[in-house]
Structures are given as structure tokens and as C-alpha cells.
Amino acid sequence: MTTARDPIRPYRPNDRAALYAVCLQTAATGGDATPLHRDHSLPGKVWVGPYVEFEPDLAFVLDDGAGAQGYVLGSLDTRAFEARLAAEWMPPLQRLHPADEFEPHTRDAALVRLIHQPMVAPEAVVNDYPSHLHIDLLPGWQGGGWGRRLIDTLLRRLAEQGSTGVFLGVNPENEHAVGFYRHLGFEPVSSDGGLWLARSLGT
């Protein structure tokens, strides 16, 4: 008898391109952003690359055997992550993507702005919830319990590493994701610059 292989596994360096593709296909408030970008690499460069580069042990992949279908990415210490983002990850991207590369008010321009002015999470959020996460699944894998399992996998690892709490930022228009997070026990902590949801870890 063969046992079914668990489709959730740790990140491997050769997953990066597939994770960038999942990011692009879920970046439009949970839907496919491919037609909305001229540069298809930008969502992955901003929302995936630094996580798998700096904290690969907190990256987990949903892989059906044919490659990545989804991921959860975490950062243990958000302030340390933001410092590395500004000092190490963004400078080469700033040279590659000048601030005026795209027409203003386009999605590409918004991501290039984040490359030049990286996001800093509000103090009120990070004080109580030092870690943060991102999760995205391709449509065929949504609604089957894999999101919950990916989050559980990451939260267990964060708790093992001593984290006391985790937050995430979400577009309030992404009602499906907001409902999912609330169902999993994440509570709104701030609406400064978007909606921030958080959950305590440990005791």
C-alpha cells in the first residue's frame, strides 16, 4: 500500500519562479493580475523574493507533484526584515526599476513606488505582533482546507521560534481573504494604511 504524499513541504530555491507566478496570478485582490501588469515580475519581486531570500525556513509550498500551487511566507521579526529589505533587497531593484519607469497610477508604478519607498508596518501592530505572513493559492486549490493547513504549518514554526504574535496586511476589498483570516482567529488591530489583522501565538 502506498501512502499519499503530503503536498505541503518546505521551500526549495528552485521554487522561486513558480512562487512568483502564483503571486502574479493572485495579486489582483486575490484574482489574476497578469493582464494588469506590463512587468510580470514585479509582484513576486516585492511580495515573495525577500521572504524566500531572507527567511527560507519560514516559507512553505503547496506542491501537488507538478510544482508550486500555493505558498505561505513568514517573517519572524518584522523590524529586522524591514531593515534588510531597505538595506539589501531594494537597492538593486531601485537601480533596475527607476521611480519613473511606468505611467503614474498604474499597478506597475505602485509596485515600483514600494521598491523605492518600502512599506513599514505600523508601530501599534508590530509592538504586539512581531511576525508577519503572506499566503496565496492558485484558484484550483482554494476552498479545500489548504489555506488553513499552510497557516497552521507556519504558525507552529513561528511559535517554535519564540514569536508571540503574527500579523498580515490585507486589502479590505478582498472580502474572501478577510473572512478566511477572521475565521482563523485573526482580529483587526489597525486600519492605518490598509487593514491589519493579527493573532497572538503561544500562551
User: Taking CB under 6 A as the rule, does residue 65 contact ligand COA?
Assistant: no
Distance of alpha carbon 134 from alpha carbon 11, whole angstroms? 14
**DSSP run (H or E) holding 92:** helix 90-96
Binder of ligand COA out of 38, 79, 116, 176 (CB under 6 A): 176
Which three cell numbers, joined as nine digits, stand for 136? 496565496
What is the nearest approach in angstroms of ligand COA to the Cβ of residue 174?
A: 5
DSSP 145: S
User: Taking CB under 6 A as the rule, does residue 71 contact ligand COA?
Assistant: no
What is the nearest approach in angstroms of ligand COA to the Cβ of residue 181?
A: 8
What is the nearest approach in angstroms of ligand COA to the Cβ of residue 145?
A: 5
Binder of ligand COA out of 143, 172, 194, 202 (CB under 6 A): 143
* Phi, psi (rounded to 5 degrees) for 197: -115, 145
Q: Please enumerate in sequence order all residues whose Cβ is within 8 A of that of 157, keeping only pairs 6 or more positions apart, or say none.
A: 57, 58, 74
Residues that bind ligand COA (CB under 6 A): 26, 30, 135-137, 142-148, 170, 174, 176-177, 179-180, 183
